Structure 1
């Protein structure tokens, strides 16, 4: 059984296994069969895409929810922003929990809790009810990501030709999860109503909960017990600073659009400034703390910092444009939820194809080139949507914009996931995933908050659902600015190809005092990054 299968203890750093012990095509020892391995990769992919699946489901039914529950534009934005907010605020906390107390049990429990919360959310009777459970769904989606990342990285510590394909599937979680969510939601809402979308989400993750019980291997041989000594190494103060700071900062951006005086409203400014101060305090504390929640040494790697910035700005454009494009289709073009889902179908098909290609070329083509292609695709997609006019052809504007957006998302996610998970040692793989996904969730919340303010500023009257084109165009121009800014950072990347044999880790290089040039290899996931 998979539950009894273990790999070497990852709670303490250890040298990578010798390449001589396995061939490049071997299945990782922690899986008893190829079926179990494939189901695990699928489960891990759906774990990383849990919040995006929810985001996609809500996106195509926001107009219906808003009309049923008499929601304002700010409350409609909170349907998605609440989950992004809680997810971003708690990711680092759950990453620490996973690395300290065990990944497998946290992943399985979070799957079950997410499914139950989704079921309850379907019975919402008012905006506050739905927004609160949206936050709970974001909380459980935050809890499931770090253990999924850690287990996947540990499972493929041995170099294997299967690794690139596993990581390609895994990287598809966020973008493909979003578009699949839109399709399933559109069908469910068409056959029944918007509540059925939440019921369907619950059913889907019940299935993956059952699958996870069998497929998820134990990648930590020894799990620490909860003791006073362990608690002292848990960086409770850092956890408090990070959660509170992120929550206040993102909340201020999200509520600004519906505040009486917008950004000039006193409580918006207080929340914004306090959030920034607490985040700054968290960063300062991490440099002082003996057992930091987020080791600052990770950010000394220039490529690690750059790839996070590029993905942050690019995904901000992707998630923001997707949300408002769906509302544009529902409110201006008067499409039903099912029709919206059908018109978003190219993203799902394109995402599958792009990830297949990424799995084939990631170890052959420079990651800098792939990242550049992704950033250009984001920019092209946003420009097409920003130039939509009344009566514009779907095939001339929206269709190519959807394809370009998913090319940008999937290429950048493949490159970033492989590199980010290579930047920390095996016993901190969950933390690596937590850092990367915190960046993604924060950018989603920030993008929705800023775009909601733009939408409200350009809206006519006080109606929550605008039927004129201008508010949406202005939001899309914000997406152009975000995507264009991400492109400016690409030339400074120095990442070559990824997915080769093992070498020396980034942190080991720092420990040994090696600076600049040479090869930056990553034994922790059996990968090597060739510096350009």
Structure 2
């Protein structure tokens, strides 16, 4: 376990971030030039490096842990607070909506004013609001608090990504391993959230699930104060010139544009007059206009929030679109199959969590494998494998009924879901981070995570509308019983989304990433 690389060049996830007898720590945040695989000089010892990567992983896991915890306790929350299905999905969707709207804003803040302070403060604030969420008494208060937790999650990811991108600047197997650990936080955070939520809710109640999150992230706040290296990247003074470079108009357009469009998609089905309700149409139209305005503004602005020229890279655009289509199948699919097990199969949160356990095991294995092969196997093949896994997973959920065997349908579906998520997330994350300079690493992370958050919000909005429509008028084949049909309809949407991503994969042209010699 003390070796970085064996004779065949094989690497492992934990061994990669472990090196005995490395050079003494220095102040500069950069890898040693003599050996890209050496421990970065900013770390005093190997343990500090491991704890930093783990803390960064918890940053991206933050929103997923929250979503997983809510997913497995959703029926208890709905019963206690007397919530409808639409209100219940808003508990999860509100954090994704808020997170997606503010990610680019906080990416710019981190790049201009410093990363470590924003990182640590965000971990602490998430802990505080998780504590507050446990005392919520009404559906609207819980929705609002979860939205605020989504904002704190959005303020944590860009500085974490930015620090990783600067510390592991040069392509190397060590960088692959660090980013594989980081990428694991997204799918595994969801699964561990279900485990934590299921256990705490079974022992106490659903409120304990939020309090447990508060404790966990308070601990990582303290760890982060010590483990996160001092950010030596150049920061900007707060003056008029900096405000110009901050792209205030671009931030305004993207924050309110994404927020309004996401809100319209989430509210459309439950509004008094559906999609024709005045405020739904107003939110949708104004939101779209703001997003179009953002594209035009940043195309010509001297200091754009998002350099529009990056979209000319076909692979960059395709990787994000394929990732988004997969996420639109994964997040709502995971939510509604968990709700199915609670509502239709009458399983307790702890029993639901146990049935989701394959996601943990397969997720760990998939991320270790990704860290080993990103520099060896064509990443196009990894994206193809991920898209196939997503499609097969959703097809299995479509075929699942109330009397179906868990081992025949749900078990393989859960294993395939995380293979799809881990493979695609690793490839997309590495490609996006490599597409922008070190001075914009936090913004790069913001672009990547914004795309993911937006598609989750859209997926929840569409699936909620489908669920309510089919629940009111079950029109599917007699193959499914009436109670199962609304859930099946949401999984059919997942099949369509993941299959579209599968169709787009052949258009990619990506070789290996992270090796000394890249295709």
Q: TM-score, normalised by structure 2?
A: 0.92
Q: 2:382 and 2:83 mapped to 1: Cα distance?
A: 41
1:259 equivalent among 271, 283, 288: 271
Q: Is residue 501 of structure 2 the alignment partner of residue 489 of structure 1?
A: no
2:96 equivalent among 84, 87, 90: 84
State how many pairs are aligned: 489
Report if aligned partners of 2:180, 2:370 keep a CA contact under 8 Å in 1: yes
Report if aligned partners of 1:6, 1:219 keep a CA contact under 8 Å in 2: no
Deviation at 1:72, TM superposition (A): 1.4
Q: 2:402 and 2:158 mapped to 1: Cα distance?
A: 44
Deviation at 1:264, TM superposition (A): 2.9
Q: 2:203 and 2:371 mapped to 1: Cα distance?
A: 36
2:433 equivalent among 396, 421, 424: 421
Report if aligned partners of 2:78, 2:84 keep a CA contact under 8 Å in 1: yes
Name the counterpart of 1:468. 483
Counterparts of 1:269-280 in structure 2, within 5 Å, are 269-280=281-292
Q: CA offsets per residue over residues 60-100 of structure 1, 9 Å max, x none?
A: 11111111011111111110011001000000000000000
Q: Is residue 57 of structure 2 the alignment partner of residue 45 of structure 1?
A: yes
Residue ranges of structure 2 left out of the alignment (5+ in a row): 1-24, 475-480
Deviates most, 23-32 or 410-419 = 23-32
Q: 2:370 and 2:384 mapped to 1: Cα distance?
A: 14
2:314 equivalent among 280, 302, 308: 302
3-state secondary structure, aligned to 2:262: helix
2:69 equivalent among 57, 63, 75: 57
Mark the CA change 1:132 to 1:314 in structure 2 (over 3 Å): closer, same or farther.
Answer: same
Mark the CA change 1:93 to 1:467 in structure 2 (over 3 Å): closer, same or farther.
Answer: farther
Deviates most, 153-162 or 425-434 = 153-162
Q: 1:96 and 1:174 mapped to 2: Cα distance?
A: 22
Mark the CA change 1:482 to 1:133 in structure 2 (over 3 Å): closer, same or farther.
Answer: same
Name the counterpart of 2:168. 156
Q: Is residue 93 of structure 2 the alignment partner of residue 75 of structure 1?
A: no
Deviation at 1:223, TM superposition (A): 2.1
Deviation at 1:6, TM superposition (A): 3.2
Report if aligned partners of 1:77, 1:452 keep a CA contact under 8 Å in 2: yes
Deviation at 1:308, TM superposition (A): 0.3
Q: Is residue 199 of structure 2 the alignment partner of residue 197 of structure 1?
A: no
Counterparts of 1:354-369 in structure 2, within 5 Å, are 354-369=366-381
Deviation at 1:222, TM superposition (A): 3.1
Q: 1:467 and 1:86 mapped to 2: Cα distance?
A: 35
Q: Is residue 128 of structure 2 the alignment partner of residue 113 of structure 1?
A: no
Report if aligned partners of 1:390, 1:469 keep a CA contact under 8 Å in 2: yes
1:477 equivalent among 492, 495, 514: 492
Name the counterpart of 1:328. 340
Name the counterpart of 2:250. 238
3-state secondary structure, aligned to 1:246: helix
Deviation at 1:467, TM superposition (A): 8.3
Q: Is residue 297 of structure 2 the alignment partner of residue 282 of structure 1?
A: no
Deviation at 1:158, TM superposition (A): 3.7
Deviation at 1:24, TM superposition (A): 4.3
Name the counterpart of 2:395. 383
3-state secondary structure, aligned to 1:218: coil
Report if aligned partners of 1:155, 1:219 keep a CA contact under 8 Å in 2: no
Q: 2:182 and 2:214 mapped to 1: Cα distance?
A: 21
Name the counterpart of 1:508. none
Runs of 4+ more than 4 Å apart: none
Report if aligned partners of 1:99, 1:427 keep a CA contact under 8 Å in 2: yes
Q: TM-score, normalised by structure 1?
A: 0.90
Mark the CA change 1:69 to 1:398 in structure 2 (over 3 Å): closer, same or farther.
Answer: same
Q: 1:219 and 1:28 mapped to 2: Cα distance?
A: 13
Counterparts of 1:125-204 in structure 2, within 5 Å, are 125-204=137-216
Q: CA offsets per residue over residues 338-369 of structure 1, 9 Å max, x none?
A: 11100101001110011111111111000000
Deviation at 1:461, TM superposition (A): 8.4
Name the counterpart of 1:213. 225
Deviates most, 260-269 or 57-66 = 260-269
Name the counterpart of 2:45. 33
Cα RMSD after superposing both structures: 1.7
Q: 2:482 and 2:119 mapped to 1: Cα distance?
A: 42
Deviation at 1:388, TM superposition (A): 1.1
Report if aligned partners of 2:122, 2:156 keep a CA contact under 8 Å in 1: yes
Report if aligned partners of 1:154, 1:426 keep a CA contact under 8 Å in 2: yes
Q: Is residue 327 of structure 2 the alignment partner of residue 312 of structure 1?
A: no
Report if aligned partners of 1:26, 1:160 keep a CA contact under 8 Å in 2: no
Q: 1:194 and 1:470 mapped to 2: Cα distance?
A: 27
1:98 equivalent among 110, 116, 120: 110
Mark the CA change 1:387 to 1:8 in structure 2 (over 3 Å): closer, same or farther.
Answer: closer
2:365 equivalent among 353, 375, 389: 353
Q: CA offsets per residue over residues 454-487 of structure 1, 9 Å max, x none?
A: 011011489xxx9810100000000001101111
Q: Is residue 466 of structure 2 the alignment partner of residue 451 of structure 1?
A: no
Q: 1:342 and 1:352 mapped to 2: Cα distance?
A: 16
Deviates most, 214-223 or 451-460 = 214-223
3-state secondary structure, aligned to 1:310: helix
Deviation at 1:416, TM superposition (A): 0.7
3-state secondary structure, aligned to 1:395: helix
Deviation at 1:311, TM superposition (A): 0.3
